[in-house]
């Protein structure tokens, strides 16, 4: 598709459109290539391809001149990305664009005339996005608080620049949507948030279910004039806000709304009685969040270890405050899997020694996930015969080649992917894993991204659909294999090949010229 000065667009034939898309993907691959010469960076900037320019905005080797040219030629998304990454200081943005101004206002104050221009934009979504930004001046926020569009007013109620006077206005607003937005605002005065929570404000007149706006919430909410669903949603917002005191939200432990109780379950400032109430909730998800909450006491942790839900017990195992004896019991039934639990990560050397000597494989498996184990513990665990223990241990970089070989010889496919993920896995073993028959697809993906992978193993990875996309950008892949991938039927593979730093510079130039 192309544009003419008149503004009319010409549609390319389908085949041409597909080829143009492919060329754009190749330009994006080149833009990601860490070995891309400066001259080609300049050429890609000059191409004006929006996708390639956005990829270039991710580079860390751009000169100041290239950054400024990207800002001039790129669209708003390019400028916003460079602002977010700190490549482009807000003060150096020299063109007005509403989306860019909104992004700038979340980083630093913006020129006043630009802020007012965006505040007067015809699109309420633009005005609303500006209203909630971090560095918007208080006078612009106040103006947006009087906007004729409810959505803009609600966004102003979320503003970090909210004043006490504005917060009082929003708390008494006739529409619950505005009050709900205020309830989420961590910068609102606590006394006003408490007044909102305790209903010490004038009764609201409208909600999304009864205001006649056709809001999507009206499809799932009902209103008989009491705005019950909207008020429940307001309570939910209050539990979200850490500025809402614990004593205020603690009365929500038996709230009729599941969502309110669920959000309450993750707060860490409640009285223990609230957690005990929530631990008996009929919703397993709520009990699971309570189980994982580090603020619950040991008494409740021990009680929840008998919860009938497998997921609740699994979540309890992730609680950093769990006693080791409770964790050891859970290891037998909770199917925790290969993950480093917080309590294991914090275990003392003496505790680690005791756990590593356990007769229960599931307990030794938990210890094996730590990568900072003493060498004698690593050797002790490597001598295990249990596949689960060895699978957890397999990614430990302290393992020797002989120990990794022993694991593979004993358990093959069960440990292959984890061994291939080990940063110390040698090239010879990676080659051996790549040649396993039948192939272990997950292992091939790990091999394809491993820095020690030899060329021969990467060539094997090319036969696997997912590993092929990863291997195509590996710098050890032979040039003779990279170049044909540039025309691969899978455009993701072709783009990955274009991003390969081993791609010869003349080929990069040819590719840039063709693209």
For residue 12, the 8-state DSSP code is P
Categorize the per-residue pLDDT at 515 as very low, low, confident or very high, splitting at 50, 70 and 90: low
The whole-number pLDDT of residue 192 equals 97
- Nearest Cα neighbor of 397 from 368, 424, 419 is 424
Categorize the per-residue pLDDT at 4 as very low, low, confident or very high, splitting at 50, 70 and 90: very low
pLDDT of 389 > 60? The answer is yes
**Average pLDDT score, the chain:** 94
pLDDT of 322 > 90? The answer is yes
Average pLDDT over residues 208-216: 91
User: Could you tell me the sign of the dihedral formed by the alpha carbons of 11, 12, 14, 17, in that order?
Assistant: negative
For residue 219, the 8-state DSSP code is G
How far apart, in whole angstroms, are the C-alpha atoms of residue 313 and residue 335? 9
Burial grade of 376 (CB within 10 A; 0-12, 13-18, 19 or more): exposed
Whole-number percent of the chain with pLDDT over 70: 97
Q: How far is CA 310 from the centre of its chain?
A: 26
The whole-number pLDDT of residue 19 equals 81
- Nearest Cα neighbor of 136 from 102, 169, 167, 164 is 102
pLDDT of 355 > 70? The answer is yes
The whole-number pLDDT of residue 180 equals 97
The whole-number pLDDT of residue 65 equals 96
> DSSP letters of 263-326?
HHTT-SSS-HHHHHHHTT-S-HHHHHHHHH-TTS-HHHHHHHTT-S-HHHHHHHHT-TT--HHH
pLDDT of 312 > 90? The answer is yes
How far apart, in whole angstroms, are the C-alpha atoms of residue 505 and residue 36? 8
Residue-wise pLDDT tens digits, 223-262: 999 999 999 999 999 999 999 999 999 999 999 999 999 9
Residue-wise pLDDT tens digits, 115-133: 999 999 999 999 999 999 9
pLDDT of 9 > 50? The answer is no
Number of H helices and number of E strands within the chain?
A: 35, 2
**Residue count (the chain):** 515
pLDDT of 12 > 70? The answer is no
Average pLDDT over residues 30-36: 97
**450: three-class secondary structure by DSSP:** coil
| pTM of the model as a whole | 0.86
The whole-number pLDDT of residue 485 equals 97
Spell out a b/e string for 310-327, using b for 16 or more CB atoms within 10 Å of the CB, else e. eebbbbbbbbeebebebb
Stretch among 198-202, 398-402, 509-513 having the lowest mean pLDDT = 509-513
Average pLDDT over residues 9-37: 78
Range list of H helices, 383-478:
387-393, 401-411, 413-421, 427-434, 441-448, 455-461, 465-471
pLDDT of 10 > 50? The answer is no
């Amino acid at each position: 598709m192309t544009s003419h000065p008149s503004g009319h667009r010409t549609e390319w034939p389908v085949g041409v459109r597909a080829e143009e898309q492919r060329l754009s993907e190749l330009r994006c691959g080149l833009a990601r290539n860490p070995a891309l010469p400066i001259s080609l960076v300049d050429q890609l900037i000059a191409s004006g391809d929006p996708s390639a320019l956005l990829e270039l905005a991710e580079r860390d080797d751009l000169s100041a001149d290239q950054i400024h040219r990207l800002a001039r030629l790129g669209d708003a998304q390019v400028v916003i990305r460079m602002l977010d990454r700190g490549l482009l200081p807000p003060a150096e943005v020299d063109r007005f664009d509403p989306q860019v101004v909104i992004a700038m206002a979340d980083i630093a104050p913006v020129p006043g005339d630009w802020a007012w221009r965006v505040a007067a934009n015809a699109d309420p979504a633009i005005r609303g996005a500006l209203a909630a930004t971090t560095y918007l001046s208080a006078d612009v926020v106040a103006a947006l608080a009087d906007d004729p569009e409810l959505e803009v007013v609600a966004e102003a109620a979320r503003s970090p620049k909210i004043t006490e006077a504005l917060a009082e206005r929003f708390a008494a607003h006739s529409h619950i949507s505005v009050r709900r937005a205020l309830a989420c605002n961590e910068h609102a005065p606590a006394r006003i948030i408490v007044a909102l929570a305790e209903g010490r404000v004038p009764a609201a007149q409208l909600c999304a279910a009864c205001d006649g706006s056709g809001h999507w919430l009206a499809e799932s909410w009902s209103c008989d004039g009491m705005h019950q669903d909207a008020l429940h949603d307001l309570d939910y917002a209050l539990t979200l806000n850490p500025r809402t005191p614990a004593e205020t939200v603690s009365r929500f432990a038996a709230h009729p709304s599941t969502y309110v109780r669920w959000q309450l379950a993750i707060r860490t400032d409640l009285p223990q009685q609230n957690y005990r109430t929530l631990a008996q909730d009929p919703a397993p998800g709520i009990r699971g969040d309570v189980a994982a909450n580090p603020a619950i006491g040991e008494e409740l942790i021990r009680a929840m270890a008998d919860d009938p839900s497998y997921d609740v017990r699994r979540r309890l195992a992730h609680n950093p405050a769990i006693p080791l004896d409770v964790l050891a019991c859970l290891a037998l039934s909770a199917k925790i899997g290969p993950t480093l639990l917080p309590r294991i990560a914090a275990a003392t050397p003496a505790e680690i020694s005791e756990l590593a000597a356990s007769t229960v494989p599931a307990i030794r498996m938990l210890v094996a996930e730590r990568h900072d184990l003493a060498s004698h513990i690593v050797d002790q665990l490597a001598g295990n015969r249990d596949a689960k223990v060895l699978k957890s241990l397999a990614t430990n970089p302290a393992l020797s080649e002989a120990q990794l070989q022993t694991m593979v010889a004993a358990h093959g496919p069960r440990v292959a992917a984890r061994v291939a993920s080990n940063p110390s896995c040698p090239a010879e073993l990676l080659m051996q894993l790549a040649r396993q028959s039948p192939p272990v697809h997950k292992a091939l993906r790990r091999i394809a991204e491993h820095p020690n992978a030899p060329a021969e193993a990467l060539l094997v990875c090319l036969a696997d659909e997912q590993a092929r996309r990863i291997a195509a950008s590996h710098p050890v892949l032979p040039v003779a294999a990279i170049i044909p991938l540039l025309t691969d039927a899978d455009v993701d593979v072709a783009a990955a090949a274009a991003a390969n730093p081993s791609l010869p510079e003349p080929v990069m130039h040819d590719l840039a010229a063709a693209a």
